């Protein structure tokens, strides 16, 4: 270097100093594991719009879940300040939230479940309630092929023993059913005590049908039940035994040079208790799919008696560029059971044609090669 007497030389020295400090910061930060990743609500205090994070490359051997040796509530000496400096010098590594304007950054994106059109009317002459299931619109894809096979179940709650069903509409996210159902022999006084419950499901030939969404209409809320009335109603998440299944924090990293997608299963929160004791023994199973064909299977270790497990395990999958559009990664959180069959807690389908949250994550991964992109996902039935 020349004598630092000019402003130019001073600026060069500052740049070199920042590069040295940044190298030191990154070297220390890489010693961290993903167990120290804060929940989005904590991240929001530092970067209010950050629901996704660009993370350092994970250890592909899996990272230890053991906590550090520092006192509770205090980070190791000096580490926090160095990490803060690294973050201040690499602010472009923090990605904007993919949510809507009212997204507070806590938890996964609220996925739209579509809507359903139906008609309801009561005949006083025949003591018959008539329900017409007309059509659905913008239903989410539940199959890894990027579509669904929807049908509708009808109940008059609180009676769950007697149900009626529409036909299944194959591979259709905007189905037209146009089917009429009659609940005969119901006095008007009893009808007004009932709630019309419609549940839209995705038919699955080889396993349990997947709930898509539901609508409940207390019939005493309808002002003119004596005439057929037609409604459009937004579908809400099904609560009949399913409810919230928990969330999973996953990071994706696409390497176009190596033709790999690395999936890092970081941690889960608020998992549904599957055991009698009010807990679960969760592990995560991953399937790489090409079209409808299973290519490769991997899984994490099992965390005993835990509804908020930290896994920190990475799984690279070889995915050539020409098959990316036909590739789906199915992530299933399971409950290990020693005496019987393992239970499914919830699933995620990651591809370019899954639900809105999954597609957003996939596109962000493709748009930021060699960068670990983390996002919370709500587990689905």
pLDDT at 60: 45
Helices 7-29 & 79-89 angle (0-180, nearest 10): 120
pLDDT at 94: 34
- Structure confidence by residue, pLDDT tens digits, 67-76: 333 333 344 4
pLDDT at 352: 86
Q: Picking from 7-11, 89-93, 324-328, which range would have the lowest pLDDT averaged per residue?
A: 89-93
pLDDT at 374: 95
pLDDT at 354: 79
- Structure confidence by residue, pLDDT tens digits, 194-224: 999 999 999 877 666 778 889 999 999 888 8
Q: Which positions ≥6 away from 127 have C-beta within 8 Å?
A: 184, 185, 186, 187, 188
End-to-end CA, the chain? 64
Q: What percentage of the chain carries pLDDT values higher than 70?
A: 69
Using the predicted structure, report yes or no on whether residue 103 has a pLDDT greater than 80. no
DSSP H or E run through 354: none
Nearest CA among 255, 264, 246 for reference residue 53: 264
* Rounded CA separation 57/314 (Å): 10
pLDDT band at 144 (very low <50, low <70, confident <90, very high): low
Q: Picking from 59-63, 264-268, 270-274, which range would have the lowest pLDDT averaged per residue?
A: 59-63
* Rounded CA separation 139/200 (Å): 9
Count CB atoms within 10 A of the CB of residue 201.
23
Using the predicted structure, report yes or no on whether residue 190 has a pLDDT greater than 70. yes
Output 195 or 63, whichever has higher pLDDT.
195
pLDDT band at 19 (very low <50, low <70, confident <90, very high): low
Nearest CA among 40, 58, 109 for reference residue 359: 109
Nearest CA among 247, 270, 236, 240 for reference residue 140: 236
Provide the token pair at 160: 């769950």
SS3 category, 93: helix
pLDDT at 210: 79
- Structure confidence by residue, pLDDT tens digits, 218-238: 999 888 898 999 999 999 877
pLDDT band at 44 (very low <50, low <70, confident <90, very high): very low
DSSP H or E run through 333: strand 327-335
Using the predicted structure, report yes or no on whether residue 239 has a pLDDT greater than 70. no
The DSSP symbol for 380 reads B
pLDDT band at 243 (very low <50, low <70, confident <90, very high): low
* Rounded CA separation 268/284 (Å): 10
Torsion angle defined by CA atoms of residues 232, 236, 240 and 243, in that order, rounded to the nearest 10 degrees: 180
* β-bridge mates for residue 372, sequence order: 55
Using the predicted structure, report yes or no on whether residue 9 has a pLDDT greater than 90. no
Nearest CA among 165, 242, 172 for reference residue 197: 165
- Structure confidence by residue, pLDDT tens digits, 279-329: 899 999 999 999 878 999 999 999 999 999 999 999 999 999 999 989 999
Dihedral (CA of 351, 357, 363, 365) sign: negative
- Whether 272 contacts 79, CB under 8 Å: no
pLDDT band at 275 (very low <50, low <70, confident <90, very high): confident
For 101, list phi and psi in degrees, rounded to 5: -65, -30
Provide the token pair at 299: 């899984």
For 362, list phi and psi in degrees, rounded to 5: -60, -45
Output 3 or 301, whichever has higher pLDDT.
301
DSSP H or E run through 119: strand 115-123
- Whether 208 contacts 177, CB under 8 Å: no
């Amino acid at each position: 270097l020349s004598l630092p007497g000019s402003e130019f030389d001073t600026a060069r020295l500052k740049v070199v100093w920042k590069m040295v400090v940044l190298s030191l910061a990154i070297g220390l930060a890489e010693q961290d594991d993903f167990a120290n990743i804060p929940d989005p609500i904590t991240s929001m205090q530092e970067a209010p719009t950050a629901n996704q994070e660009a993370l350092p490359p994970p250890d592909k051997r899996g990272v230890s879940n053991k906590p550090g040796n520092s006192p509770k509530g205090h980070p190791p000496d000096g580490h926090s300040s160095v990490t803060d400096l690294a973050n201040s010098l690499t602010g472009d590594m923090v990605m904007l939230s993919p949510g809507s304007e009212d997204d507070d950054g806590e938890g996964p994106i609220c996925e739209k479940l579509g809507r359903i059109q139906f008609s309801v009317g009561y005949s006083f002459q025949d003591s018959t309630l008539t329900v017409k299931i007309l059509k659905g619109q913008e239903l989410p894809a539940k199959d890894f092929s990027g579509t669904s096979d929807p049908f509708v179940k009808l109940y008059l709650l609180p009676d769950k023993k007697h149900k009626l069903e529409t036909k299944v509409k194959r591979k259709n996210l905007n189905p037209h059913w146009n089917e009429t159902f009659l609940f005969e022999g119901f006095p008007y006084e009893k009808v007004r005590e009932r709630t019309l419950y419609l549940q839209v499901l995705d038919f699955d030939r080889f396993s349990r049908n997947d709930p898509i969404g539901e609508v409940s209409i207390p019939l005493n809320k309808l002002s003119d039940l004596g005439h057929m009335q037609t409604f459009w109603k937004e579908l809400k998440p099904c609560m009949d035994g399913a409810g919230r299944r928990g969330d999973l924090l996953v990071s994706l990293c696409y390497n176009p040079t190596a033709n790999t997608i690395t999936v890092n299963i970081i941690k889960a929160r608020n998992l549904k208790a599957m055991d009698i004791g009010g807990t679960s023994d969760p592990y995560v199973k991953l399937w790489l799919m090409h079209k409808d064909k299973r290519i490769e299977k991997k899984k994490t270790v099992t965390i005993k008696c835990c509804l908020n497990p930290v896994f920190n395990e990475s799984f690279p999958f070889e995915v050539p560029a020409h098959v990316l559009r036909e590739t789906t990664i199915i992530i299933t959180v399971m409950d290990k059971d020693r005496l019987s069959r393992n239970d499914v807690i919830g699933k995620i389908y990651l591809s370019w044609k899954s639900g809105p949250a999954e597609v957003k994550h996939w596109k962000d991964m493709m748009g930021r090669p060699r960068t670990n992109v983390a996002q919370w996902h709500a587990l689905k039935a």
